[in-house]
């Protein structure tokens, strides 16, 4: 972690950018200069309303892609803007603009002040204890320590090496990501600034065998930090190529309830869909979550421990404070099979009377804040992956999730995976099936967990609330074993 | 704020720039969120921005650098151009020409009510939701969200393309509750339309309320192969999966499951009604309709699937050139499927499983296989209609679309224009 009192450097010229690779750091947002003006805005609004806040966000990314077509460099953003809100004792009113300047702030102020004053100003909202922070996460190996030209060359070399590993590979596309997320939050007691660097590497491979349907496999590694996240180790590449080949012409799995051993990325989605979405406290106050009736009650086997932790260094869902200015801290959701507490934003904590956690997150300035996960994971156990597989008479090893969906009220869950391998008599057979859908009733699934390995990973993902409101998260855990319906 | 007119003079003066596209976008959105009958939050969002794409010639290749225009900071524009040029010089894509000036069809995408009364539309939607909920006994509203957006988009490129368009959109999501205690059931529904009148919201919410009641008595479906009848939700999922696989990019890279000139599934005598899929960018109030796409290609119509065969890809200017197609068809427009010969009532005959909704349809990109949890359906035998939930529906998208028989009733649905109902006799299985 880097703590600096002054973060923003003046822009560099194109030649300097090319030689240093400092594509993102050369252009920074307007956050530090905005802080005073947002503080003034909050003060003006609080003359009329019990509580006001302002949040500036800026997000951008650059993807370097190498494929048969050549090199492609694709940017998103910069997407920046300001949202300001007032609480009138009953509801939150927000105005948001992409104009992150004085004119935009004036428009927000004028629109918000046009709303009628609340009948009483005696109802307050806790702004939190005073904090001023100025934080940046550049990572262990800063992105700008290697030029774009060099990184494109490295990516092309890696792609050539991957392609050579198997004649069955008909297509390999690799991409490297870099980006940044800035947040400046201001209320009457807090002035919080953070800038997070994002980096990663990923790709898709396709293998063909004869005239059958091709096999596809995506991989993705991402984290908060720098070039340390832009690495694919030899064993990871070997496994990617081997599994892509095996997926060509793979048949669907034998359907029915069976024992499954899930790799960390699938384990994470199980946590995410079972006791992630289902314990976002806005679901409680809307009467949408069955978990509301299970606080301090058993919901899984004693081997189940699930935590959400935005402070997990390097993980894709890391942050110092949430988008409502609450200082990040871990929340232990399930402890030895007992559901303890959920995840909240300011609205759901106030409405439910349950503790506030630092999980009020927005996709960006032009989206609403909701209770959201950050880095959610099954905590690791003592066993090894091999021990879990050895304990299966007949079942499946499942990896490479492609999607998951929650059902907090019905306590159903569904996880779709790209890869399954049949286990018989404690051994992997090499027989591959795909796609594999795991589903089941959440308490049954968690209650059947009878093995938890020690190989914790926190794979990156993107999480939606329903079918929108996308935020970066990680969903992880170790290899675990349980029973589920396979189809 | 930089507008498409202002930056163009700047771009013309840049040495080494071979082509450019500038777009502007002005969006205003009104949102309302409520739980039960209380308003949780109201929001207004104003987004003034756009995007610039710059192209350079790098030997026998081309490179592209892009950035979003930020309103209110003209100085940032110059800095971003410099960075985009740096990125463009590192690209090595095959060269291609941008679409030039063209006839831009008239396409109606702006709801007059959203144009004139944007701020009041969320409250009207709310009233319609409450009316719909009130029509069904024993159903309660748990939560709802309404977004109403109007957008003006303009695109200009260096080859002479220039057009603008106004559009609107409504997004409505409702969560309904039926029953009480441990047996309480939740039912969700969401709609996306361009016009308020197309939502027919009170009626739609009433229908979903009745489904919420049906969930109270739903049992697990019977396992095994079964004839299946399904409507816009599942068919929309399948079309949304199929269209990207039929893109010029996928055809050029040969990285999809479809091959030009070949059937999407080999079925022989099992084939259903002819599968024809067209993408029509000019369909009035179509969900994916547009007048000009992001690179400057005029909206048009293209038939991608004919009698079950993938006949040609939809392709933007880049991949149409690579594939030597006679024309670029731009971004995919609103999918259209033809009407069938049978009425919905005739498709709902004898024994069948009717699927209303599944949890999430995510087929395998390579094989088209899927397996999805059934959220609500009905097992029907003659005059007996039994609600079911749970279990999974498994099948193959390519085969289902090729085996389907379509209703002769067609409508403008959230993700396509076409049949209200489809039926397949074989190929789908329930795993209980």
Work out the percent of chain A whose per-residue pLDDT is above 90.
Answer: 83
Query: How far apart, in whole angstroms, are the C-alpha atoms of residue B235 and residue B191?
Result: 15
Lowest mean pLDDT among A15-19, B90-94, B276-280: A15-19
B371/A403 touch (CB, cutoff 8 Å), yes or no: no
Question: Would you say A78 and A181 are in contact if contact means Cβ atoms under 8 Å apart?
Answer: no
Work out the percent of chain B whose per-residue pLDDT is above 70.
Answer: 98
Under 8 Å CB-to-CB from A298, ≥6 apart: which residues? A337, A338, A339
Helix or strand holding residue B163 (H, E): strand B162-178
Search chain A and give the residue with CA nearest B394: A487
Query: How far apart, in whole angstroms, are the C-alpha atoms of residue A210 and residue B85?
Result: 44
> Counting Cβ atoms within 10 Å, is residue A256 exposed (0-12), middle (13-18) or buried (19+)?
exposed
Give residue-wise pLDDT tens across range B23-36.
999 999 999 999 98
Residue A404 has which token pair? 């998951």
A100/B73 touch (CB, cutoff 8 Å), yes or no: yes
Give residue-wise pLDDT tens across range A367-414.
999 999 999 999 999 999 999 999 999 999 999 998 888 888 889 888
Residues of chain B positioned with their CB less than 8 A from the CB of A91: 38-42
- Partners of residue A472 on adjacent β-strands: A462
Query: How far apart, in whole angstroms, are the C-alpha atoms of residue A384 and residue A393?
Result: 17
**Left if phi > 0, otherwise alpha if psi is -120 to 50, otherwise beta: which for B114?**
alpha
Handedness of CA A24, A28, A31, A32 (dihedral sign): positive
pLDDT at A407: 86
Residues of chain B positioned with their CB less than 8 A from the CB of A24: none
pLDDT at A121: 65
- What does the buried/exposed string (b/e) look like for A350-367 if buried means 16 or more CB atoms within 10 Å of the residue's CB? bbbebebbbbbbbbbbbb
Search chain B and give the residue with CA nearest A103: B72
| Chain A: closest CA distance from residue B351 (Å) | 24
pLDDT confidence bin for A18, thresholds 50/70/90: very low
Please provide residue B112's backbone torsions phi and psi, each rounded to the nearest 5 degrees.
-55, -30
Given a cut of 70, whether residue B111 has pLDDT beyond it is: yes
pLDDT confidence bin for A275, thresholds 50/70/90: very high
- Partners of residue B58 on adjacent β-strands: B61
Could you tell me if B414 lies within 8 Å of chain A, comparing CB atoms? no
Residues of chain B positioned with their CB less than 8 A from the CB of A30: 73
Query: How far apart, in whole angstroms, are the C-alpha atoms of residue B91 and residue A63?
Result: 12
State the angle between helix axes of B121-134 and B201-216 in degrees (0 to 180), rounded to the nearest 10: 40
Give residue-wise pLDDT tens across range A432-445.
999 999 999 999 99
Given a cut of 90, whether residue A200 has pLDDT beyond it is: yes
Query: How far apart, in whole angstroms, are the C-alpha atoms of residue A130 and residue B402?
Result: 63
pLDDT at A76: 94
Q: What DSSP state is assigned to residue B363?
A: -
Please provide residue A439's backbone torsions phi and psi, each rounded to the nearest 5 degrees.
-145, 165
For range B243-260, the mean pLDDT: 92
pLDDT at B1: 43
Given A92, A366, A402, which is nearest B362 (Cβ)?
A: A402
Closest CA to A54 of A374, A371, A365: A365
Given a cut of 60, whether residue B202 has pLDDT beyond it is: yes
Could you tell me if A62 lies within 8 Å of chain B, comparing CB atoms? yes
Given a cut of 90, whether residue A30 has pLDDT beyond it is: no
Q: What DSSP state is assigned to residue B160?
A: B
- Partners of residue A475 on adjacent β-strands: A376
Given a cut of 60, whether residue B95 has pLDDT beyond it is: yes
| DSSP one-letter string for B285-306 | T-TT--SB-TTSPBP-EEEEEE
For range B203-216, the mean pLDDT: 97
A171/B367 touch (CB, cutoff 8 Å), yes or no: no
Given a cut of 70, whether residue B423 has pLDDT beyond it is: yes
pLDDT at A29: 55
pLDDT at A24: 38
Could you tell me whether strands B228-230 and B351-358 are parallel, antiparallel, or unpaired per DSSP bridges? Answer: parallel
In a mutational test of the B interface, the residue from A33, A177, A207, A213 whose CB has the highest number of chain B CBs within 10 Å is A213
Given a cut of 90, whether residue B8 has pLDDT beyond it is: no
pLDDT at A340: 97
Give residue-wise pLDDT tens across range B71-90.
766 777 888 999 999 999 99
B362/A285 touch (CB, cutoff 8 Å), yes or no: no
Query: How far apart, in whole angstroms, are the C-alpha atoms of residue B278 and residue B288?
Result: 12
Search chain B and give the residue with CA nearest A254: B431
For range A214-230, the mean pLDDT: 95
Question: Would you say B275 and B305 are in contact if contact means Cβ atoms under 8 Å apart?
Answer: yes
| Chain B: closest CA distance from residue A77 (Å) | 5
Given B38, B186, B429, which is nearest A288 (Cβ)?
A: B186
A216/B364 touch (CB, cutoff 8 Å), yes or no: yes
Helix or strand holding residue B22 (H, E): strand B17-35
**Site of tokens 């938890």:** A452
Residue B247 has which token pair? 């893109």
Closest CA to B391 of B264, B150, B167, B220: B220
In the three-class reduction of DSSP (H, G, I as helix; E, B as strand; rest coil), residue B251 is classed as helix
A416/B360 touch (CB, cutoff 8 Å), yes or no: yes
CA distances from A178 to A18, A60, A65, A230, A360 (A): 15, 9, 12, 9, 25
B367/A434 touch (CB, cutoff 8 Å), yes or no: yes
In the three-class reduction of DSSP (H, G, I as helix; E, B as strand; rest coil), residue B144 is classed as strand
A104/B72 touch (CB, cutoff 8 Å), yes or no: yes
Closest CA to A4 of A239, A230, A194, A188: A194
Given a cut of 80, whether residue A273 has pLDDT beyond it is: yes
Closest CA to B171 of B108, B124, B125: B125
Search chain A and give the residue with CA nearest B249: A69
Given B1, B73, B253, which is nearest A68 (Cβ)?
A: B253
Find the Cα–Cα–Cα–Cα dihedral A391, A394, A397, A398, rounded to 10°: -130
For range B177-198, the mean pLDDT: 94
Residues of chain A positioned with their CB less than 8 A from the CB of B47: 81, 97-98, 366
A11/B79 touch (CB, cutoff 8 Å), yes or no: yes
Could you tell me if B220 lies within 8 Å of chain A, comparing CB atoms? no
Question: Would you say B400 and B428 are in contact if contact means Cβ atoms under 8 Å apart?
Answer: yes
Query: How far apart, in whole angstroms, are the C-alpha atoms of residue B330 and residue B299?
Result: 6
In the three-class reduction of DSSP (H, G, I as helix; E, B as strand; rest coil), residue B341 is classed as coil
In a mutational test of the B interface, the residue from A75, A154, A209 whose CB has the highest number of chain B CBs within 10 Å is A75
Given a cut of 60, whether residue B220 has pLDDT beyond it is: yes
Query: How far apart, in whole angstroms, are the C-alpha atoms of residue A217 and residue A195?
Result: 32
For range A46-71, the mean pLDDT: 95
CA distances from A20 to A17, A187, B82, B192 (A): 5, 37, 15, 46
The chain-wide mean pLDDT, for chain A, equals 91
Please, which residues 259-288 of chain B have a Cβ atom closer than 8 Å to chain A? none
For range B309-327, the mean pLDDT: 97
Query: How far apart, in whole angstroms, are the C-alpha atoms of residue B72 and residue B81?
Result: 16
Query: How far apart, in whole angstroms, are the C-alpha atoms of residue B301 and residue B330?
Result: 9
> Counting Cβ atoms within 10 Å, is residue B164 exposed (0-12), middle (13-18) or buried (19+)?
middle
A14/B31 touch (CB, cutoff 8 Å), yes or no: no
Under 8 Å CB-to-CB from A398, ≥6 apart: which residues? A260, A261, A262, A263, A266, A417, A419, A420, A436, A438
Given A204, A288, A487, which is nearest B371 (Cβ)?
A: A487
Q: What is the ipTM of this complex?
A: 0.94
Residues of chain B positioned with their CB less than 8 A from the CB of A93: 41-43
Could you tell me if B82 lies within 8 Å of chain A, comparing CB atoms? yes
Please, which residues 298-357 of chain B have a Cβ atom closer than 8 Å to chain A? none
The chain-wide mean pLDDT, for chain B, equals 94
Query: How far apart, in whole angstroms, are the C-alpha atoms of residue A267 and residue A303?
Result: 13
Given A70, A94, A213, which is nearest B43 (Cβ)?
A: A94
pLDDT at A5: 24
A75/B90 touch (CB, cutoff 8 Å), yes or no: no
pLDDT confidence bin for A164, thresholds 50/70/90: very high
CA gyration radius, chain B: 24
Query: How far apart, in whole angstroms, are the C-alpha atoms of residue A398 and residue A419?
Result: 6
Given A68, A149, A368, which is nearest B90 (Cβ)?
A: A149
Helix or strand holding residue B24 (H, E): strand B17-35
Helix or strand holding residue B151 (H, E): strand B139-157
For range A293-303, the mean pLDDT: 97
pLDDT at A122: 67
pLDDT at B69: 87
Under 8 Å CB-to-CB from B127, ≥6 apart: which residues? none
């Amino acid at each position: 972690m880097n703590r600096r009192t002054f973060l923003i450097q003046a822009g560099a010229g194109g030649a300097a950018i090319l030689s240093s690779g400092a594509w993102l750091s050369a252009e920074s947002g307007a956050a530090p200069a905005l802080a005073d003006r947002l503080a003034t805005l909050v003060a003006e609004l609080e003359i009329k309303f019990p509580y006001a806040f302002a949040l500036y966000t800026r997000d951008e990314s650059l993807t370097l892609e190498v494929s048969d077509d050549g090199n492609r460099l694709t940017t998103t953003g910069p997407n920046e803007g300001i949202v300001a809100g007032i609480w009138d004792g009953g509801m939150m009113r927000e105005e948001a603009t992409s104009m992150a300047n004085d004119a935009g702030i004036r428009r927000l102020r004028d629109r918000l002040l046009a709303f009628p004053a609340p009948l009483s100003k005696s109802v307050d909202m806790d702004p939190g204890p005073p904090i001023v922070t100025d934080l940046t996460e550049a990572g262990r190996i800063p992105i700008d320590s290697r030029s774009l030209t060099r990184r494109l060359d490295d990516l092309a070399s890696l792609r050539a090496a991957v392609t050579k590993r198997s004649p069955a590979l008909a297509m390999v596309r690799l991409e490297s990501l870099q980006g940044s997320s800035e947040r400046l939050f201001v209320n009457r007691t807090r002035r919080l600034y953070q800038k997070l660097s994002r980096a990663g590497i990923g790709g898709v491979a396709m293998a063909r065998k004869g005239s059958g349907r091709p096999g596809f496999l995506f991989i993705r590694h991402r984290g908060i930090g720098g070039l340390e996240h832009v690495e694919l180790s030899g064993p990871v590449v070997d496994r990617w190529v081997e599994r892509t080949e095996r997926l060509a012409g793979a048949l669907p799995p034998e359907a029915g309830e069976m024992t499954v051993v899930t790799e960390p990325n699938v384990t994470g989605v199980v946590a995410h869909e079972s006791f992630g979405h289902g314990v976002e406290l806005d679901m409680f106050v809307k009467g949408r979550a069955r978990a509301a009736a299970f606080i301090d009650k058993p919901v899984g086997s004693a081997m189940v421990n699930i935590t959400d932790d935005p402070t997990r260094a390097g993980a894709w869902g890391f942050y110092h404070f949430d988008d409502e200015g609450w200082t990040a801290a871990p929340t232990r959701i399930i402890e030895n099979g007992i559901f303890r507490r959920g995840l909240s934003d300011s609205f759901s904590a106030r409405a439910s009377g349950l503790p506030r956690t630092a999980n009020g997150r927005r996709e960006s300035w032009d989206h609403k804040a909701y209770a959201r996960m950050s880095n959610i994971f099954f905590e690791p156990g003592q066993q090894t992956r091999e021990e879990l597989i050895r304990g299966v008479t007949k079942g499946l090893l499942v990896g490479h999730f492609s999607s998951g969906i929650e059902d907090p009220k019905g306590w159903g869950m569904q996880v779709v995976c790209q890869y399954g391998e049949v286990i018989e008599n404690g051994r992997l057979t090499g027989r591959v099936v795909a796609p594999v859908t795991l589903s089941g009733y959440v308490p049954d699934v968690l209650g059947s967990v009878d093995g938890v390995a020690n190989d914790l990973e926190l794979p990156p993902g993107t999480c939606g609330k329903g079918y929108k409101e996308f935020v970066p998260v990680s969903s992880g855990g170790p290899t675990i074993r349980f029973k589920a319906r396979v189809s | 704020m930089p507008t498409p007119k202002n930056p163009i003079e700047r771009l013309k003066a840049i040495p080494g720039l071979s082509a450019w596209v500038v777009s502007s976008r002005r969006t205003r959105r009104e949102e309302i969120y409520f739980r039960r009958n209380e308003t949780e939050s109201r929001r207004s969002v104003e987004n003034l921005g756009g995007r610039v794409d710059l192209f350079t010639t790098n030997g026998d290749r081309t490179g592209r650098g892009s950035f979003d225009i930020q309103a209110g900071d003209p100085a940032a524009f110059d800095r971003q151009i410099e960075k985009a040029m740096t990125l463009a010089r590192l690209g090595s894509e095959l060269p291609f020409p941008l679409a030039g000036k063209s006839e831009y069809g008239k396409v109606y995408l702006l709801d007059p009510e959203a144009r004139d009364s944007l701020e009041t539309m969320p409250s009207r939607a709310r009233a319609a939701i409450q009316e719909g909920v009130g029509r069904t006994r024993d159903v309660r509203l748990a939560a709802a969200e309404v977004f109403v957006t109007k957008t003006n988009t303009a695109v200009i490129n260096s080859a002479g393309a220039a057009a603008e368009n106004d559009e609107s959109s409504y997004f409505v999501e409702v969560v309904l509750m039926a029953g009480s205690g441990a047996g309480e059931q939740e039912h969700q529904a969401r709609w996306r339309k361009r016009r308020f009148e197309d939502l027919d919201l009170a009626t739609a919410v009433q229908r979903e309320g009745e489904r919420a009641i049906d969930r109270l008595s739903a049992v697990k479906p019977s396992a095994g192969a079964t004839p299946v009848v399904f409507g816009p939700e599942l068919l929309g999922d399948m079309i949304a999966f199929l269209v990207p696989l039929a893109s010029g990019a996928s055809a050029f890279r040969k990285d999809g499951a479809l091959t030009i000139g070949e059937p999407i599934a080999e079925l022989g005598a099992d084939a259903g009604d002819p599968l024809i899929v067209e993408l029509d960018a000019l369909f009035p109030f179509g969900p994916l309709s547009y007048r000009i796409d992001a690179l400057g290609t005029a909206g048009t119509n293209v038939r991608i699937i004919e009698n079950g065969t993938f006949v040609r890809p939809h392709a933007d200017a880049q991949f149409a050139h690579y594939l030597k197609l006679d024309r670029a068809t731009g971004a995919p427009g609103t999918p259209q499927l033809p009407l069938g010969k049978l009425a919905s009532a005739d498709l709902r005959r004898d024994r069948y499983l009717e699927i209303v909704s599944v949890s999430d349809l995510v087929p395998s990109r390579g094989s088209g296989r899927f397996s999805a949890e059934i959220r609500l359906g009905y097992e029907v035998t003659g005059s007996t209609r039994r609600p079911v939930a749970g279990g999974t529906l498994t099948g193959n998208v390519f085969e289902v679309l090729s085996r389907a028989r379509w209703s002769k009733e067609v409508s403008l649905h959230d993700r396509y224009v076409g049949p209200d109902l489809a039926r397949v006799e074989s190929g789908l299985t329930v795993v209980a």
